[in-house]
Amino acid sequence: MLVGIDGSSGSVHALRWAAARTDRFGSIQPLLTWHYPWWAYSAPAPAPIDEFEASAERDAAASVGSVPGADILPPIVCRAQAGPTIVDVGATANLIVVGTRGRSGLKDALLGSVSSHVVAHATVPVAVVPAGASIDDRTGRVVVGIDGSVNSRAALLWALHHAPAESTIEVVHSWIYPSSSMPGLAVIPYAVHEDRAQYLLDEEVRVATTAVSPGRHRIVRRLEYGDARGVLKEYAESCDLLVVGARGGGGVAHLLLGSVASALVHQPSTTTVVIPVTEH
């Protein structure tokens, strides 16, 4: 499990969140990047690069030291851009964990732009942990957004594999009544669209639970009318974990596109796991 850190309280919170889940995701590999700031080049007496490297190493040590007893590997500290480096190093991890706030100045901040880059380019699941997210997950309410696409099905399968035992998994499918300005086009009744949406929801749960035993999880189906971004944001305000796919499908179902995933991780109210696009 790769965790991006930068010495800020937000990244330390993400590190603690990861430390509470090493039983499911394995040892933590912290990663801290640093850069030589532009203003140092123009100073009358440019500061030695070694000072910035040493500062970064101290920040990494302090972050790791704030989570005593955790299964944490020696941190990787390197001079590089945060987003691309997290994606590259995390390519072999089973989960990448990033915070939503960082610090500017001497360090590459783990700000929204970094977490957004990681979510958009990572080839493994990414957990975006806001500062107020609960660390304890012995019990919990997990929400999974689906739309019938292969990617959203992968999100549901991930939740079935990794959600805490005895947690409630709420499978949420939102839909909207399609509008058309084409004259002469037959109008399909509202109830027909709703029935189709309900069938999609039931079928996705059936397929996923056939592939993966739900174990002790309690699975609840939620059919909602409305824009996926608004619906899932509202659910996120009261759940412990939100899981979505990075891309979605078309048709009657509302798309869980990159724009939806981006909206959900921009200012998340709960920890949000984004499942990358699959090859199939």
- Residue 280 in any domain: the answer is no
Residue 150 and residue 113 share a domain: no
Instruction: Label the pairing between strands 2-5 and 29-34.
Output: parallel
Residue 148 and residue 246 share a domain: yes
User: What does the pLDDT read at residue 180?
Assistant: 56
Residue where the block lists tokens 């040892």: 27
Q: What CA–CA distance (Å, rounded) separates 273 from 280? A: 20
SS3 124: coil
At a CB cut-off of 8 Å and minimum separation 6, what does 227 contact? 174, 176, 254
Instruction: Label the pairing between strands 126-129 and 271-275.
Output: antiparallel
User: What does the pLDDT read at residue 109?
Assistant: 42
Residue 90 and residue 23 share a domain: yes
Residue 106 and residue 158 share a domain: no
Residue where the block lists tokens 């974990």: 241
**Which amino acid makes up residue 127?**
A
Where does residue 156 rank: exposed (0-12), middle (13-18), buried (19+ CB within 10 A)? buried
Q: What CA–CA distance (Å, rounded) separates 226 from 221? A: 16
Residue 154 and residue 53 share a domain: no
Where does residue 110 rank: exposed (0-12), middle (13-18), buried (19+ CB within 10 A)? buried
Last residue in a domain, options 84, 106, 129: 129
SS3 241: strand
Domain, as residue range, for 159: 141-275
Residue 269 and residue 146 share a domain: yes
- Residue 135 in any domain: the answer is no
- Residue 134 in any domain: the answer is no
Residue 164 and residue 40 share a domain: no
User: What does the pLDDT read at residue 198?
Assistant: 95
Of 173, 192, 183, nearest to 255 by C-alpha is 173
CB 214 within 8 A of CB 160: yes
User: What does the pLDDT read at residue 173?
Assistant: 96
User: What does the pLDDT read at residue 22?
Assistant: 95
Last residue in a domain, options 60, 94, 129: 129
Q: What CA–CA distance (Å, rounded) separates 148 from 146? A: 6
Of 148, 262, 139, 125, nearest to 205 by C-alpha is 148
Residue 107 and residue 16 share a domain: yes
Mind listing the pLDDT tens digit of every residue in the chain (280 residues)? 999 999 888 899 999 999 999 999 999 999 999 887 666 666 666 667 788 889 999 999 999 999 999 999 999 999 999 999 999 999 999 999 999 864 443 344 444 578 888 988 999 999 999 988 889 877 789 999 999 988 999 999 999 999 988 899 999 999 987 765 555 555 778 788 899 999 999 999 999 999 887 677 899 999 999 988 899 999 999 999 999 998 755 433 444 446 677 778 777 889 999 999 865 4
Residue 166 and residue 81 share a domain: no
The backbone region for 110, taken as left when phi is positive above 0, alpha when psi lies in -120 to 50, beta otherwise, is beta
- Residue 42 in any domain: the answer is yes
Residue 153 and residue 115 share a domain: no
SS3 141: strand
Q: How many domains does the chain have?
A: 2
Residue where the block lists tokens 């019990």: 139
At a CB cut-off of 8 Å and minimum separation 6, what does 74 contact? none
Residue 205 and residue 157 share a domain: yes
Residue 248 and residue 200 share a domain: yes
Domain of 218, CATH number, reads: 3.40.50.620
